[in-house]
A and B are shown apart, each in its own frame.
Chain A
Amino acid sequence: MGPLVPQEIIGQDWNMLIAFIIGIGFGFALEQAGFSSSRKLAGLFYGYDTVVLKVFFTAAVTAMLGLLYFSLFGWIDLNLVYVNPTFIWSAIGGGVIMGAGFIIGGFCPGTSVCAAAIGKIDAMIFLAGVVIGIFVFGEGYPLWKEFYNSGNLGNPKISEILGVSGGVMALLVIIAAGIMFWIGEWAEKKFTREEY
């Protein structure tokens, strides 16, 4: 029966309302996980706090298993689930810019809004930077249009490239997540900071 929105079991208007409610839930979860502290996010890069890694990978593993089991039970047609197209060069370029912004600013776009909402001044300045960035990108679009659209690989999946089934890929991701969590906790012990 799923996915519900592309098959229009849920209409566009309800889609927006549901997205709004889920968005509030997402923001709440981010705040509760402590992601509105830029020190916590920067901690991932210095190794003293790897909660960010653990939260996002737990979310990814949960969603992945949920989708695969839903598909197994025939509740969702994975062929109808939208997969973002990969533009390899702009993805790498954008990743570098975003990573640099992440380390310098201590927020990712989502968490900056979250932190600004609870009154963090650094997050508000970060948001202003985001808006300036969007403006510069939009106005200068003809300059980087070619780069932006370069290296289109379509909608590849890593499992398809490796030639394994989605289920085997899922198991590999779970194992990788487990190993990363273990390394993360080891790093937290090694690079402990008392106050941050």
Chain B
Amino acid sequence: MNARILTLAVTLLLGVVIAMVPENTTKRYKLTASDMITEVRDGSEIISPEDLAHWIITKDPSIQIIDVRSPDEFATYHLTNAFNIPIADILNDDYVDILDQGVKMNVFYSNGTMYSHQAWMVLRQLGYENNYVLQGGLNYWFESILSPKAPSIYSSDEEIAKYDFKKGASEYFGGGGAEIQATAPATNTNKPVIKRKKAKKAPAGGC
């Protein structure tokens, strides 16, 4: 057979096949199921309320607090400087720059931890770094920061220092009154390292 006819036939056949298969079956998700389960069990995405309170009080500029509840709930009450990305809109293109970046650290919260964890898992699957979840959500926040329970007199100095901090934080956030000033306990240095995102270079070319 004529070589050009053969080439044309093969190319056309390849074209017909590619026209009929579903588009873009490229694996969009970056993590395998076993990677994911390792991360979930590891729990490295969890941020304790004390750490978060400390960062809010010290006005740490690298923290972004994201409320994944509904706008109504957000309007009723939200943490200082938090902004609202309802979980239904989490994949909206408008928020990609906030959620997928290498400059700041995002802390998600919801009432419990279900929505915040769902948001975190979806985004983690997309390969986004620097997203974290507030331990226990708002419920635990109220319990541990806004109305902390006094430790027993047998507690270690560290426990008492933590309580002192929470009392101070409670005052800062407008919870129960306390006369003790907020002093950061030594445990508040375990901030996760923000992973820098590699900048995409725009290639250019032409004839």
Taking Cβ atoms with an 8 Å cutoff, the residues of A that contact B are 5-6, 8, 12, 56, 61, 65, 68-69, 71-72, 74, 76-80, 82, 84, 108-110, 165-168, 170-171, 174-175, 178
Known A8-B198, A167-B19; 17 more pairs at CB < 8 Å: A5-B201, A12-B201, A65-B14, A72-B25, A74-B27, A76-B26, A78-B26, A79-B24, A79-B26, A82-B200, A110-B207, A165-B19, A165-B23, A167-B18, A170-B15, A170-B18, A171-B12
Query: Once the chains are docked, how many angstroms separate the CA of A171 from the CA of B16?
Result: 6
Query: Once the chains are docked, how many angstroms separate the CA of A171 from the CA of B13?
Result: 9
B195 to chain A, nearest CB (A): 14
Partner of B202, one of A8, A72, A82, A166: A82
Q: Mark B153-187, 1 if CB is under 8 A from A, else 0.
A: 00000000000000000000000000000000000
Query: Once the chains are docked, how many angstroms separate the CA of A69 from the CA of B15?
Result: 10
B11 at the interface (CB under 8 A from A): yes
Say yes or no: B25 contacts A84, CB within 8 Å.
no
Query: Once the chains are docked, how many angstroms separate the CA of A108 from the CA of B206?
Result: 10
Q: How large is the interface on B (under 10, 10 to 19, 20 to 34, 35 or more residues)?
A: 20 to 34
A96 to chain B, nearest CB (A): 16
Query: Once the chains are docked, how many angstroms separate the CA of A109 from the CA of B205?
Result: 12
Say yes or no: A108 contacts B15, CB within 8 Å.
no
Residues of B within 8 A of A174 (CB): 11-12, 14-15
Q: Mark B127-169, 1 if CB is under 8 A from A, else 0.
A: 0000000000000000000000000000000000000000000
B61 at the interface (CB under 8 A from A): no
The residue in chain A whose Cβ has the minimal distance to the Cβ of B198 is A8
In the A-B complex, the 8 residue pairs with the smallest Cβ-Cβ separation, listed nearest first, are: A171-B15, A171-B19, A174-B15, A167-B18, A167-B19, A168-B19, A165-B23, A110-B207
Say yes or no: A166 contacts B23, CB within 8 Å.
yes
Instruction: Name 5 interchain pairs, CB-CB below 8 A, sorted by A.
Output: A5-B203, A72-B21, A82-B202, A167-B20, A167-B21
Taking Cβ atoms with an 8 Å cutoff, the residues of B that contact A are 8, 11-12, 14-16, 18-21, 23-28, 198, 200-204, 206-207
The residue in chain B whose Cβ has the minimal distance to the Cβ of A6 is B200
- Chain A interface mostly helix, strand, loop or mixed? helix
Query: Once the chains are docked, how many angstroms separate the CA of A84 from the CA of B16?
Result: 27
Say yes or no: A178 contacts B26, CB within 8 Å.
no
Say yes or no: A78 contacts B198, CB within 8 Å.
no
Say yes or no: B19 contacts A170, CB within 8 Å.
yes
Residues of B within 8 A of A69 (CB): 14, 18
B127 to chain A, nearest CB (A): 10
Partner of B207, one of A12, A71, A109: A109
The residue in chain A whose Cβ has the minimal distance to the Cβ of B27 is A74
The residue in chain A whose Cβ has the minimal distance to the Cβ of B202 is A82
Query: Once the chains are docked, how many angstroms separate the CA of A85 from the CA of B62?
Result: 32
Residues of A within 8 A of B28 (CB): 77, 79
The residue in chain B whose Cβ has the minimal distance to the Cβ of A177 is B11
A151 to chain B, nearest CB (A): 19
Residues of A within 8 A of B14 (CB): 65, 69, 174
Query: Once the chains are docked, how many angstroms separate the CA of A72 from the CA of B14?
Result: 12
Say yes or no: A71 contacts B20, CB within 8 Å.
no
